[in-house]
Amino acid sequence: MAGLVAVRDRREQVIALLTQRFSDDVFDVDELDRRLDLAHSATSIAELDDLVKDLDTTALVKTTTTTLVRDDPSRPAEKKIWCVMSGLDRKGRWIVPRKMRVRCFWGGGRLDFREADFGPGVTEIHVSCVMGGFEIIVPPNLAVDVDASAIMGGFDERHRAPAAAEPGQAVLRITGFVLMGGVSIQTRLPGESDRQARKRERRERKQLRSGD
């Protein structure tokens, strides 16, 4: 089990480094896709190290997927978002308000928190989704608490984020209501697509079963 955890942690570091180097124009998108596929299929730390041996290896130690948490006095206390027959896509580095209210009606949207800037303690998001769809993406280390209800719809929780945070860290509390629609909550690594996340989760479950 300890070996699997070490590989998982190194995989997160390597994926973060590859994504960073792509943003620095070190290689193109085809090379990024190739290396990410190999990173997701790697079963040892040596395989993962080979993927970044031609890069600045000091950055591998410094690069982590830890959620940015800081006490910013300019952080908004509350923000309301409406998606009425339209869409929303918030990703990359952005400052998360202490409280968000999302109203989705005949529309869809996505909030990607993998590179987001959180305040310490609890951040609340209330999602109301009527005949629409909404996606929430969280990093593996962000604590998530979900308390929501649905009628002729659903809250799909496909995440493995911790339920409790370490002292001084952030907690994302998601509440809401769905009517004839859907809200999906997923855990993904930086730079990881939905397809890649599903493949990684299947491999990790298989490795865990084989280690029992």
Tokens of 80: 């309301």
211, pLDDT greater than 60: no
Mean pLDDT on 105-127: 92
Question: What pLDDT does 22 receive?
Answer: 74
Same domain, 45 and 130: no
Could you give the count of Cα atoms lying within 13 Å of 94 in the half-sphere of its Cβ?
Answer: 12
What pLDDT does 77 receive?
Answer: 94
Whether the CB-CB separation of 13 and 62 falls below 8 Å is answered with no
Mean pLDDT score, 197-201: 74
Long-range contacts of 194-202 (CB under 8 A, 24+ apart): 196/36, 196/37, 196/40, 199/40, 199/41, 200/11, 200/40, 201/160
- Give yes or no: residues 160 and 96 share one domain: yes
| 58 has pLDDT over 60 | no
List the one residue out of 168, 174, 142, 1 whose CA is nearest residue 65: 142
Verify that 78 and 173 share a domain, yes or no: yes
Q: Are residues 173 and 130 in the same domain?
A: yes
pLDDT of 43 > 90? The answer is: no
**Chain segment 135-177, per-residue pLDDT in tens:** 999 987 888 988 888 888 888 877 666 666 666 788 999 999 9
Q: Do both 83 and 40 map to the same domain?
A: no
List CB contacts of 129: < 8 A, sequence separation 6 or more.
Answer: 102, 104, 153, 176, 177, 178, 179, 181, 182, 183
175 and 101 in a single domain? The answer is yes
Give the pLDDT confidence of 65-85 residue by residue, as tens digits: 567 788 888 899 999 999 888
Whether residues 158 and 84 fall in one domain: yes
Residues spanned by the domain of 43: 2-65+192-211
Q: Are residues 131 and 154 in the same domain?
A: yes
Give me the number of domains the chain comprises. 2
In this structure, the answer to whether residues 46 and 84 fall within a common structural domain is no
| C-alpha dist (Å) from residue 147 to 50, 132, 150 | 42, 19, 11
Q: Which pLDDT does position 84 carry in this prediction?
A: 86
Beta carbons of 207 and 160 less than 8 angstroms apart: no
Nearest-angstrom CA–CA distance, 166 and 193: 27
Q: What is the pLDDT of residues 8-22, one digit of tens each?
A: 778 877 887 787 777
